Chains A and B, each alone.
Chain A
Amino acid sequence: MVTARLERDGDEIELLSILPDDLLIAILSFLPTPVAARTSVLCRRFRYLWEASPSLVFTIPCRNRNVMNFIRMGDRAIHQRHPSHPILSLHLDLCRFTPPLPDHCIYFLLKKAHSLGLRHLTVTVEGPHDLDLQQLIKPIFSIDSLRSLSLPTIRPIHVHAPIFKSCYAYTLNCPKLTNLSLRLLRVPSFNLTDLLPELPSLQNFHLEIHAIDSLSLSSQTITNLNLILTPADPKFRTLQLFLPSLESLHFETRGSLSVSAHCPTPIIHGQLPVLKTATIILDQVHAPDVTTISSLFNTISYHVQELILHVKEEKYPIPIPILLEPGKDMPTFPNLKHLDVSLCFHELNFEAVTTMVRHCPALESLKLVHKIPKFTDWAQGRKRKDWRSDDLLATVSPLFLAAFFTSPNRSSLLHCLRTSLSAFSRNMLPEKLRKTGKLVSPLTKTSA
């Protein structure tokens, strides 16, 4: 085929057809499956070519009539697949209005994919769906070649029924699974306690959870944790993280941490001995949440080297402390090198950040972004001047100077001021500092 290529003349060449089949299949595997399947009309050679593609995306259709077509096609593309064409990645997209599929349909699809060495599986469901995921959990978690897995929202049918460990006592068997993405909606946390020890090589774990009771994550192997937390029940009191290999933590909250005004907020504790980077994104912080946040700081403070802290939108009527519990001390961050804080720097917050900077002897770079909260009807009675950053300029400079002069590692702090901060201060800071001894506010103004 390749030699024929050299004797071509003029317009007679067939451009794609000179490629051998396996290279064409590689090209087709980059196309969305429906587009790849349409190449079957090109010529005889292409007719069944796409069915050997190692990556398939199936959008299970909405109308009954099409479901039969889909089943026939899945039959050809997966069930009759030759073992010399392994299937590496499979994405099943179940639409909202899919008529109930025959139960065995997806079950056998997964069974066959199992025997073909499936590595990456994604199942998505758009909207509420009748499909019983419980039934799929078993075949999915017995695919031993699986490397990455992403599942749609899981809701328990009965609160006390275990999801990952059924009463039929099957064992989970995914020795190679490294990436796992789960969304759990009001699922009791004992299910996670069942699941995690069964995954011996899990490294990246993405978990979105509506927590209804105390949560405990422990695993020897997880290095990246993406935790998106929505507290959904007052019974959610503690979050324990025992992850001895964790290097990067992304902690995000959706909604306030305190479920109701009268119940205590959850406490975070755990052991993260090799943590390097932590990203904390907080949404709708209320006054009691400061307990949770400072417990989180206590957990990560000793080892963390890079800390990114974003407070998304502040919906509280008066300026409240977010980072520092009144009367308590900020933990020391002995290894922290990079700090990136983005929140409204009203006086209380600024004091907390200053204390924080003071407690970071190894700090090398610092980025502060001031967010001006939105003034809506919701926030009636707010005193605008409490939030203004003009006032800030007055309060900020002395505080920051204090941080600067009390920091034991002054040269590195100066370096960090000189190098990072904002474009605004980058140009004028060093000279000003040297000449006048006064500090320009390092805060850039960006609207929230």
Chain B
Amino acid sequence: MITLISSDKRKFHVLEEVANQSLTIRDVIEDRRGRRRADRIILVTNINSKIPEKVIVYWLRHFLMPEEIAHASMSHKKAEKLKKWEAKFFDTDIDTLNDLILAADSLDIPSLFDGACEKVSDILKNRSAEEVGEISKIENEFTHEEEEEEIPSENAWVWRNEFA
């Protein structure tokens, strides 16, 4: 059993086998193997308590169905089920997704990282630049000339090919 501590000092106890899905944690545990029990506590500084909860839920789901086995012999039905579950799991606001991406990146969980990135890109897909700016609250800092002339001509090919 190892303990994760989030930035707002909440503790999460996780089975080692489950947490091993994070390559970072696995390395840390491997480093500290054979040492005192206190060393089994891992501080996760840059994420708040909501995210470890989600990450652990994700781990548990995937722990029940490890990826290698999943690919080799998972029946079609189970794969569908997992897909549905993942779609539901990632169906949150962009804020949470950002935190998930950050967590997945620092904890090194490739499948979670890919899933969250894909979901964010899905949100951005098929939207105009203004909408994207609005969703992600990015302030437009271009000057008027830049916006009207320079940039569209820079990537003119992109604007004339309608993908949506």
Contact = CB atoms under 8 A, between A and B. Distances in A.
A101 interface: no
A13 B140 contact: no
B5 to A, nearest CB: 15
B95 A38 contact: no
Interface string A347-361: 000000000000000
Contacts of A29: 117
B102 interface: yes
Contact of A35 (B94, B136, B152, B163): B163
Nearest to B124: A31
B157 A66 contact: yes
B151 interface: yes
A39 B155 contact: no
A273 to B, nearest CB: 22
Given A28-B121, A37-B158, A15 B98 contact: yes
Given A32-B163, A43-B138, A19 B121 contact: no
A26 B142 contact: no
A42 B140 contact: yes
B129 interface: yes
Given A26-B117, A39-B132, A14 B142 contact: no
Interface string B100-132: 011001000000010001101110111001001
A2 interface: yes
B73 interface: no
B147 A34 contact: no
B133 A42 contact: yes
Interface size class of B (residues with CB under 8 A): 35 or more
Contacts of A69: 153, 155-157
Contacts of A26: 101, 113, 117
A405 interface: no
A30 B124 CA distance: 10
Contacts of A30: 117-118, 120-122
B94 A15 contact: yes
Given A30-B118, A61-B160, A66-B156, A39 B137 contact: no
A6 B9 CA distance: 14
A46 B160 CA distance: 20
B117 A44 contact: no
A17 B124 contact: no
Contact of A15 (B125, B136, B141, B155): B136
Contact of B46 (A2, A33, A38, A72): A2
Nearest to B128: A38
Nearest to B136: A16
Interface in A1-36: 2-3, 5-6, 11, 13-19, 23, 26-35
A73 B48 CA distance: 41
B161 A61 contact: yes
B145 interface: no
A23 B101 contact: yes
A2 B133 CA distance: 21
Contacts of A42: 129, 132-133, 136, 138, 140
Most buried by A among B120, B121, B157, B158: B157
A23 B103 CA distance: 11
A340 to B, nearest CB: 14
Nearest to A45: B138
A21 B156 CA distance: 24
B139 interface: yes
Contacts of B118: 30
A47 interface: yes
Contact of B155 (A2, A13, A18, A37): A37
Contacts of B132: 39, 42
B154 interface: yes
Contacts of A66: 156-157, 160
Contacts of A16: 94, 98, 120, 136, 138
B150 to A, nearest CB: 10
A36 to B, nearest CB: 8
Contacts of A27: 101, 117, 120-121, 124
B133 A19 contact: no
Interface of B: 7, 46, 48, 94-95, 98, 101-102, 105, 113, 117-118, 120-122, 124-126, 129, 132-133, 135-142, 147, 151-161, 163-164
Given A17-B138, A34-B157, 5 more contacts: A2-B46, A30-B121, A35-B125, A41-B151, A69-B153
Complex A-B, nearest 6 residue pairs according to Cβ-Cβ distance, in ascending order? A30-B121, A16-B136, A69-B156, A37-B158, A69-B157, A41-B129
Interface of A: 2-3, 5-6, 11, 13-19, 23, 26-35, 37-44, 46-47, 59, 61, 66, 69-70, 72-73
23 contacts: A2-B46, A13-B137, A15-B94, A15-B95, A15-B137, A16-B98, A16-B136, A26-B113, A30-B120, A30-B122, A32-B163, A35-B124, A37-B155, A37-B158, A40-B154, A40-B155, A42-B133, A43-B139, A43-B142, A47-B151, A69-B153, A69-B155, A73-B154
